[in-house]
Chain A
Amino acid sequence: MAKKRVVLENENDTRLRGGRWWAQVGWKHVLAVAMIVYCIFPILYVLSASLNEGGTLTGSNQLFRSFSLVNYQELMDSDFVRWMLHSFYVSSVTAIGTVVMGAAAAYAFSRFRFTGRRGGLTALLIIQMFPQMLAFVAIFLLALLIGDIFPALGVGSHLQLILIYLGGALGSNTFLMYGFFNTIPHELNEAAKIDGATHAQIFWGIIMRLVTPILAVVGLLSFVGSYGEFILARIVLARPENYTLAVGLYVWGSDERNAPWGLFAAGAVLAAIPIILLFMYLQKYIVSGLTAGGVKG
């Protein structure tokens, strides 16, 4: 339906000229340019600061005064590389775990009828309203307790942080996936069953392939979420050598007086690039995924 409209309007409107064009279309381009300036300005600023040799806040005010890679070179000798690897490790494992656990749960709710199904869904909906992050004091205490029993999972360990992030995997994502799973016809399951497929084969071989778009969205959102998560990482990761990017760059960027501003800017640019690329690449999925979550039940 929407496509039909587009064709119609295009036929009518290609003849717009001069004043009418300005009134109906032209000003939108002006607005777009203004918005683009607003959108990219802070990004340009930080890019410029990262290329500025002086590396102080004052020195960064003349945009693109100098092009020097000194900050980036220094970055390579600092803890930054380590933080970046930590962030990637923590966020990737979290994203994969979230996708697998969330998809499995959504599949169970969507395909099976068992006692407690409705109650379980309602409970999830209610739990989802209470962000896990809010209980950060208790999470800190739990981290201490777990560390006593499994020293490898104690305070300061990345595995601990991943476990905490995975604790929120069901609450926030099951509904997004549940709605999508419901759109896959049940007949597929039955047909596969008649052909002799096992439960595991149906789940991994058929369903998971059909729901790839929503898996990508949830995985991406989870990755980005844990990549930028600060408060829990700050509590769990105690020392500079095991910080993630969010904690490490905060320490650099928030130091008012002797802030290594050039270093921070260079770090910010490098830290932002992978996320921006991910977003641009998966933009379509995000748009459809967000609206699917909002529109479909």
Chain B
Amino acid sequence: MSTSTQQSPRLSHARDLSRPGFIVKLILMALVNALGIYGIMASYGQEEWGVLAFLVVTLIVVNYVYFSKRAIAAKYLVPGLLFLIVFQIYVMANTAYVAFTNYGDGHNDAKGPAITQIMKTADGRVPDTPTYPVAVLDRDGEIAFAIVDGDEVKVGDIDEPLTVVDDAVADGDRVTEVPGATILNISEIQQRQNEVLDLRVSMTDNPDDGWLRTDNAAMAYVAKSTLVYDEAADTFTSAEGKVYTADPEQGLFVADDGTTLSPGWRVGVGMDNFTRVFTDSRLSGPFVSILIWTFAFSILSVLTTFALGLLLAVVFNDPRVKGRTFYRAMFILPYAFPGFLAALVWKGMLNQEFGFINEVLLGGTTVEWFTNGFLAKLAIIGVNLWLGFPYMFLVSTGALQSIPGELAEAAVVDGANPWQRFWSITLPLLLVSVAPLLIASFAFNFNNFSLIYMLTGGGPNYPGAPFPIGESDILISMVYAIAFESGNRQFGLASAMSILIFVVVGVVSWLGFRQTRKLEEIV
């Protein structure tokens, strides 16, 4: 028992070189450190100070945790926490921040890049400059231009001005090979036509030297801005003498007659995004309808799936029914079938003109499943019932097993009929264990984006709304439409709406968890 006092104190496993685990750890840590240091250098180059600070702190913490004798619990927690901090907490914080800005199309960047962009958009060909046969390159997905200037090959892209590439090959005045890049052929260029036409490659670091652009992907010419930026006055002057003044409130250059230059830059707009939902009349009507429908959809989804699932669970909890294992396997099939596929298959079956349901089951009638708002909602609830009841069936079946049999037996002795037994004993006991899952199901359906997006696409659309949103959209698909689907993507407004959803989901979950005493159990 007490032999340990005679041994020399054992090395902590964290430093014991003789153990294979230590070697593995060393290798992993070397990789992590290498990646971290690379990131630190890259973020220094990009002047991303926030990222740089985060990486430095993270590297120090990680090295301390894994080489220290203490902090044993932290060894297990750090990897998960890092991911959580970056991809969940930071992301939420950034959502909150973006919600108070005008970030979006036309306000994509800081002021400096916006000024450069304005100059590049309003450009024209500089007279008497040479044209160059140009090769269009693809470097890791980024389009770049390559030209022969004198006897040197120069390559540049959207971020990087033309620079000499030594080991490139040119045939006469046309570049034929650039290491690390592929030269696009005509059909590839056609596919990415807009990217090629929009690309401006700066001649040098100085914007006054102009930039290379092309109209036909064969010849490139030098262009310069027709707008002149006056740094002291913070104004642009056009060739015709019109003056655009910077407006820090809107993040735009505005002329006296109200015309603006595009793009603008990001500025804080306070609560504008939040109030806009209620004050913009084209948006507030659809928003309120969508809010109501979102609640209706989530509540109805939980109720219908739970009702059917529970019914089946109770009915087939009867050991006298033979083949229950087979039945159960069949009932689970819709749950096992990937949800996104189910939504698409049902979309096909519900197709107004050619779908199976209208053509065969309803004998060739044209029920407007997707063009009538009410029917679209009905279709959603119906398809979600198919998708969701097996989960409730599984859960209820499991929960039924945990209800002691004596209670039912005692009730039988007391003369209760099956109905009374169900309502007074089975259901209340079942709800104790199932309620948290019902709340989780509510929260899930509140954000059931793929079902809505794949089945109805949110349609039928509200006419006149500034975004492609429709009657069967729920809040999250509305956010998606605002952020990514409209011609004018508005990240600020979308983030503000995300926050509203966060609040609703958070409050509901909190109420639910408090109700089910979930919080007490972790103590």
Contact A108 B405 (CB under 8 A): no
Q: Does A243 contact B (CB under 8 A)?
A: no
A: contact size bracket? 35 or more
- Whole-angstrom distance between the alpha carbons of A149 and B38 in the complex? 9
Question: Which of B327, B356, B397, B447 is within 8 Å of A134, CB to CB?
Answer: B447
Q: A132-B88, A167-B91, A254-B454 are in contact. Are A10 and B341 (CB under 8 A)?
A: no
- Whole-angstrom distance between the alpha carbons of A224 and B340 in the complex? 11
- Whole-angstrom distance between the alpha carbons of A252 and B59 in the complex? 44
Expressed in whole angstroms, the minimum distance between the Cβ of A37 and any Cβ of chain B is 10
Contact with B along A205-242 (1 / 0, CB 8 A): 00000000000000000001001101100010001000
Q: Does A25 contact B (CB under 8 A)?
A: yes
Contact with A along B334-352 (1 / 0, CB 8 A): 1111111110111111010
Q: A268-B345, A280-B336 are in contact. Are A45 and B356 (CB under 8 A)?
A: yes
Q: Does B428 contact A (CB under 8 A)?
A: no
Q: Does B453 contact A (CB under 8 A)?
A: yes
Nearest A residue to B393, CB-CB: A35
Contact with A along B470-506 (1 / 0, CB 8 A): 0000001001100110000001001100100110011
Contact B338 A283 (CB under 8 A): no
Question: Which of A150, A170, A227, A297 is within 8 Å of B521, CB to CB?
Answer: A297
Contact A200 B320 (CB under 8 A): no
Nearest B residue to A27, CB-CB: B315
- Whole-angstrom distance between the alpha carbons of A1 and B331 in the complex? 27
Q: Does B295 contact A (CB under 8 A)?
A: no
- Whole-angstrom distance between the alpha carbons of A280 and B391 in the complex? 14
Contact A138 B42 (CB under 8 A): no
Question: Which of B72, B98, B341 is within 8 Å of A271, CB to CB?
Answer: B341
Contact B338 A25 (CB under 8 A): no
Contact with A along B392-415 (1 / 0, CB 8 A): 001101110110111000000000
Contact A134 B329 (CB under 8 A): no
Q: Does B509 contact A (CB under 8 A)?
A: yes
Contact B457 A254 (CB under 8 A): yes
Q: A46-B345, A137-B95, A279-B335 are in contact. Are A2 and B401 (CB under 8 A)?
A: yes
Q: A135-B95, A138-B495 are in contact. Are A105 and B87 (CB under 8 A)?
A: no
Contact B81 A114 (CB under 8 A): no
Residues of A within 8 A of B501 (CB): 134
- Whole-angstrom distance between the alpha carbons of A174 and B80 in the complex? 10
Expressed in whole angstroms, the minimum distance between the Cβ of B202 and any Cβ of chain A is 18
Q: A28-B318, A168-B88 are in contact. Are A294 and B19 (CB under 8 A)?
A: no
Question: Which of A100, A149, A235, A290 is within 8 Å of B51, CB to CB?
Answer: A149
**Count of A-B residue pairs with CB < 8 Å:** 331
- Whole-angstrom distance between the alpha carbons of A171 and B349 in the complex? 37
Nearest B residue to A252, CB-CB: B344
Expressed in whole angstroms, the minimum distance between the Cβ of A203 and any Cβ of chain B is 7
Contact B398 A125 (CB under 8 A): no
Question: Which of A137, A198, A250 is within 8 Å of B491, CB to CB?
Answer: A137
Contact B479 A13 (CB under 8 A): no
Contact with A along B74-109 (1 / 0, CB 8 A): 111101110110111111101100100001000000
Binds B, one of A55-63, A64-72, A73-81: A55-63
- List 7 additional contacts besides A16-B320, A253-B344; criterion CB under 8 Å: A5-B405, A36-B331, A61-B354, A125-B518, A134-B505, A149-B43, A268-B345
Q: Interface on A for B, CB 8 Å cutoff?
A: 1-2, 4-6, 9-10, 13, 16, 24-25, 28-29, 31-32, 35-36, 38-40, 42-43, 45-46, 49, 56-58, 60-61, 100-102, 104-105, 107-108, 112, 114, 117-118, 120-122, 125-127, 129-142, 145, 148-151, 156, 163-164, 166-171, 174-175, 178, 198-200, 203, 224, 227-228, 230-231, 235, 239, 246, 249-250, 253-254, 256, 259, 261, 264-265, 268, 271-272, 275-276, 278-280, 283, 286-288, 290-291, 294-295, 297
Can you give 11 A-B contacts (C-beta < 8 A)?
Answer: A25-B321, A39-B390, A42-B346, A125-B519, A139-B91, A175-B522, A199-B72, A254-B454, A275-B337, A290-B398, A291-B399
